[in-house]
A and B are shown apart, each in its own frame.
Chain A
Amino acid sequence: MEKGKGVMVGGRRWGVDFTDNSASPSSRDIPDPPGFSRASQDQDDSTLSRQKKDAEANWKSQKAWEVAQAPFKNLLMMGFMMWMAGSTVHLFSIGITFSALWQPISALQGVGKVFEPYKDSKVELLGPKLLFIALNLGGLALGVWKLNTLGLLPTHASDWVSSLPPAQEVEYSGGGIPLR
């Protein structure tokens, strides 16, 4: 903008800079035409940018909601994978279960980062964040549920007694058929 400003030395005698929108009339050689008010243009310009900003905020919040809803798709896919893996413990099912547990955890750790681009004073991010967290918690719950169906959670009595040593007996008895 600064480049096109002022009179060029050499071939060109004059020129009109239409893009001139500087606010102070004193900087110009030619007075403003009657009825022209610089201030009004300024005002107009600011409403335009406000509108623009609003649109951007809208867009951001929309995007944030979208991002917040993204784990839902993930959840569905995970569910499908889990169904495929079956309920027996083997490499495949364990891998899927752990990825199902790991994904929500890592996503929850990076909640701030995920919503960083949509950070704006005007955008209400709490809603999407809560949804995001809720969905990821849902995914986590799904993973835990899967872990449980695989029998890997110590929720049964048998998980706690399997290494219980036999009780000591107070009495001791020996003997048998006499030696021959």
Chain B
Amino acid sequence: MAMAIRVFLLSLLFLSFADHSFSLYEDQAGLMDWHQQYIGKVKHAVFHTQKTGKKRVVVSTEENVIASLDLRHGQIFWRRVLGANDAIDGVDIVLGKYVITLSSEGSILRAWSLPDGQMVWESFLQGSKPSKSLLSVPINLTVDKDNVILVFGKGCLHAVSSIDGVVLWKKDFSAESIEAQQIIQPLGNDKIYVVGFVGSSQFDVYQINAKNGELIKHTSAVFPDGFFGEVLSVSSDMLVSLDSTKSILVTINFQNGEISFKKTHISDLFEDHSGIADILPSKLSGVFAVKINTLLVFIRVTAEGVLEVVDKINNAAAVSDALSFSEGQQAFALIEHVDGKVLLTLKCSHDWNNDLLKESVEVGHQRGLVHKVFINNYIRTDRSYGFRALIVMEDHSLLLLQQGATVWSREEGLASIVDVTVSELPVERAGVSVAKVEQNLFEWLKGHILKLKGTLMLASSEDIAAIQGMRLKSSEISKMTRDHNGFRKLLIVLTRAGKLYALHTGDGRVVWSLLLPSLRKSGSCEHPTGLSVYQWQVPHHHAMDENPSVLVVGRCGPNSDASAVLSFVDTYTGEELNSLGLVHSVAQIIPLPFTDSTEQRLHLLIDTDKHAHLYPRTSEAIDIFQREFSNIYWYSVEADNGIIRGHVLNRNCIGEVVDEFCFDSRELWSIVFPSESEKIIATVTRKLNEVVHTQAKVVADQDVTYKYISKNLLFVATATPKASGEIGTATPEEASLVVYLIDTVTGRILHRMAHYGSQGPVHAVFSENWVVYHYFNLRAHRYEMSIIEIYDQSRADNKDVWKLVFGKHNLTSPISLFSRPEVILKSQSYYFTHSVKTIAVTSTAKGITSKQLLIGTIGDQVLALDKRYLDPRRSVNPTQAEKEEGIIPLTDSLPIIPQSYVTHALKVENLRGIVTVPAKLESTTLAFAYGVDLFLTRMAPSRTYDSLTEDFSYALLLITIVVLIAAIFVTWVLSERKELQDKWR
């Protein structure tokens, strides 16, 4: 009997601990998480509005997405995300039912069904030499009643059947050394012209029979001045190009196989010209546009090849391709920026002075300039022609303009997030409380009846949606103030376009957005790029009145020696507080663990000359910095050279100008990896803001081990150069992976371990005293995950209870890394099924809660894996004490529990990063995954042990308490009475 009770109780206990996986019920999806779908900056757009039915636009983007968007509302009908190195070169619609895409530098041609996005066929086009890739869908070219798609890619011209993707014929140009520029297919003709350059000055035309790909004629001519870059076709036999000095326009006529050049100096066309010209790639018939400085000049080409200036427009932003809308009539759109508004003008190519449309549209000031415009026509109810324009803005957003208004807009900048940080929301005060929604009795009753229906399973799908909506509204997740549990925060994200967005963690809406003025193209800053964003000021106790702010670091140009740009942005208002255009470059940014009196964090910017610059540039900051000066080190990982160098700050910079915020640095140590056998493929450190609760780890039988917790540890993985490529390019014998743990202050290598027969890519995460890394084992043909845990052996003998009770130990006194640490390492490896895109780890406010690894799988989902599975102390037969401690028996592979997918049924397309943010509630953490899509959820790795669940019945609790109190009163009265009666007897 006793045994039975024991077994029962034990199993009950075990059950309550065993189910650690994060899972939720169907109706809980969307309550704590949100998911947003994006497509990225649009490159090409093709409208499909001919037939009655759904009007749509098919777009391809810089994030390698093809999508079909609803023209009415801008929603995604369908979307296909191609691989990261499968860039789309062209998109078109054939036969009115297939979307054709050419990708991977002209080597993959795919057809997608227009209504639903299913792939219809795919053909791989072979070729030998990289070249420009061109996709051309001739309107009336048929071979055996089959519409033909012409593709130039990898030095070959292919004619592909549009029905099944079979290559009908192929013409190889790789032997001719021609750089093809255009494929021209004159209407009603069976000839195809392939035009291009050989070298810089020879122009070649190949005339090809469209039926069978036979070469009909090849002509070439030499232009002695040389060409610059590209050609633009103006009409079926006329091309325009620029000479190598970019000051002469060259018209090329190749009629009848004769090539003739005609030179026109730009200064001849109009006098006040200076500077160099660029031909815009917009295809307008008979007209082309040349950009000279800020001036846009439209030039008409007559049949004789004579150029004449049609119009000059200052500050024009974008020009669309020509669109033929009725017999022979062609129009194109011209976008100008006038008074902060977008002026859309539709010009008729042949009748210049007659504008078809002139509309001024307000698009909002945080979107910048128009980068691209695509137009489409429709027939109004009065049978006149109307036009709609799809515009792509500087911040990558996509807008549809129609009848002088923005019909819809999409914030596509969020598809290309560069960096993420968090900011708190304002504290709720009496004045700033959000207005409460008044609810009358009827509404309240209706809501409760709905809920009752839901519990009795009588609700229809609309009712369920209504219940879900009510739950969302009642949970107050989207309020604009700080909440008690710290679930509501602002995610500050920096996008590739240089725009900063603040997303609310409750529902993912954009609270504010700012196109950073300092990260916009300007005279002094030609190609600005945003690099990263840091928490600059996090007001705490004594600076509560100030708003928090973030630091955005950018750079003017693609090279690392370009000058840096700093921008400080208030996270409550979304306004730029200050911006600095720096004279020095930026190679590294080191947030220091010190803050000044206004809670501004000190940052050290290292430039490419290894000078360290301190920010903020205040005397208080320099005082704080000087105090800690001798203890600050920095290191650089030169992955290309295979060297890691450690530096110490030396003294103030020596230069013409005395700068007390600039410091020289001196090399302290360096680790040189042998270049023939080791190449650095991954490095990872602990997150700066990670909180560790304790240094001790209690193992079985109340024994204690001390973790080696250091912020200055670097994990480095190197692979043999041969095996640093794709999986399968190296044999197990020649591949090996070596991992190091390096102390970045002293350069001491704490640990080195080799995995023979393994190779990268390595994805790693470092937290507390452990590193988990993922790599490929070539011998086992499987992915593996390994863990290394680091323990401090020098503290291990601190086991005297009395010393610990009376605090007579030095376990918490500051330690120097120059004292030699004695560490022992424990490691273990397991097979893991998935290949991995990124790994992160949950982080909580105090670091007490157990950890989960968040694994971004190749399927663009996020999998939560309990850290207990990656414990080097796992063994096949754990002892009773170890079992009690929670050690799982050893298995060779890590389990993948379907319920522990954090993203449940959703996908974060092109997943690039996972960021975890601790909530104020210790058990809970927010996990934000970003790629083309965004996903945020709330996680509790050890369940919400410190709060009641949301569906906890407070009413029941209250009723129970009331009933109990009533019962106490009643029984008290009764007992009093009985006592009295007893006394009378």
Contacts and interface: CB of A to CB of B under 8 A. Distances in A.
Contact of B744 (A83, A157, A168, A173): A173
Contacts of B696: 158, 161-162, 164
A161 B804 contact: yes
A179 B812 contact: no
Interface stretch (A85-93, A101-109, A138-146): A85-93
Given A158-B696, A180-B560, A164 B631 contact: no
A170 B816 contact: yes
B13 interface: yes
A165 B695 contact: yes
Nearest to A92: B9
A173 B712 contact: yes
A179 B639 CA distance: 12
Contact of A169 (B608, B693, B710, B800): B710
Given A84-B2, A88-B884, A162-B694, A170 B814 contact: yes
Given A173-B633, A176-B683, A165 B693 contact: yes
Nearest to A159: B702
Contact of B816 (A154, A171, A177): A171
Interface in B702-745: 702-704, 707, 709-712, 714, 744-745
Contacts of A90: 9-10, 12-13
A179 B564 CA distance: 11
Among B709, B801, B817, find the residue whose CB has the most chain A CB atoms closer than 10 A: B801
A154 B702 CA distance: 10
Chain B interface main SS type: mixed
Interface in B681-700: 683, 685, 692-696, 698
A178 B712 contact: no
Contacts of A154: 801
B637 A174 contact: no
A166 B606 contact: no
B5 interface: yes
B606 A172 contact: no
A177 B560 CA distance: 12
B957 interface: no
A179 B587 contact: yes
A85 B6 CA distance: 7
Contact of A157 (B531, B587, B704, B714): B704
B631 A177 contact: no
Given A151-B702, A170-B814, A170-B817, A175 B588 contact: yes
B636 interface: yes
Given A84-B5, A164-B695, A179-B589, A169 B712 contact: yes
A7 to B, nearest CB: 42
Interface stretch (B20-28, B427-435, B590-598): B590-598
Nearest to B591: A174
Contacts of A126: none
Contacts of B841: none
A111 to B, nearest CB: 30
A167 interface: yes
B767 to A, nearest CB: 13
Given A156-B702, A158-B702, A165 B636 contact: no
A40 interface: no
B587 A169 contact: no
B646 interface: yes
Given A165-B694, A166-B694, A171 B745 contact: yes
B710 A157 contact: no
B694 A164 contact: yes
B816 A157 contact: no
A177 B628 CA distance: 24
Contacts of B555: 179
Contacts of A151: 702
A36 to B, nearest CB: 51
B814 A156 contact: no
B800 A157 contact: yes
B560 A86 contact: no
Nearest to A163: B694
A138 B468 CA distance: 61
Contacts of A85: 6
Interface in A63-111: 83-86, 88, 90-92
A157 to B, nearest CB: 4
Contacts of B587: 178-179
B637 to A, nearest CB: 5
A166 B745 CA distance: 18
A14 interface: no
B586 interface: yes
Interface in B509-540: 531-532
A18 interface: no
A164 B801 contact: no
Contacts of A49: none
B5 A169 contact: no
A176 B635 contact: yes
Contacts of A158: 696, 698, 702-704
Contacts of A174: 588, 590-592, 604, 633-635
Given A157-B704, A157-B798, A170 B804 contact: no
A177 B9 CA distance: 54
Nearest to A179: B531
A82 B237 CA distance: 102
Contact of A161 (B694, B710, B711): B694
Nearest to B817: A171
B815 interface: yes
Contacts of B800: 157
A175 B606 contact: yes
Contacts of B379: none
Nearest to B7: A86
B949 interface: no
Contacts of B702: 151, 156-159
A24 interface: no
A97 B817 CA distance: 47
A176 B637 contact: yes
Contact of B814 (A92, A169, A179): A169
A117 to B, nearest CB: 25
B811 interface: yes
Given A84-B5, A151-B702, A158-B696, A176 B588 contact: yes
B814 to A, nearest CB: 4
B814 A168 contact: yes
Interface string A111-125: 000000000000000
Contacts of B683: 176-177
B790 to A, nearest CB: 12
B632 interface: yes
A154 B695 CA distance: 18
A151 B881 CA distance: 12
A19 interface: no
B799 interface: yes
Interface string B14-49: 000000000000000000000000000000000000
A162 B695 CA distance: 8
Contact of A173 (B6, B646, B703, B816): B646
B876 interface: no
A164 to B, nearest CB: 6
A166 B635 contact: no
A178 B592 contact: no
A179 B813 CA distance: 35
Interface of A: 83-86, 88, 90-92, 151, 154-180
8 contacts: A84-B5, A157-B799, A165-B812, A166-B707, A172-B631, A172-B712, A174-B635, A175-B606
Given A158-B703, A170-B817, A178-B608, 9 more contacts: A84-B6, A154-B801, A158-B696, A161-B704, A161-B798, A163-B694, A169-B712, A173-B745, A179-B588
Closest 4 CB pairs of A and B: A174-B590, A160-B804, A156-B702, A161-B696
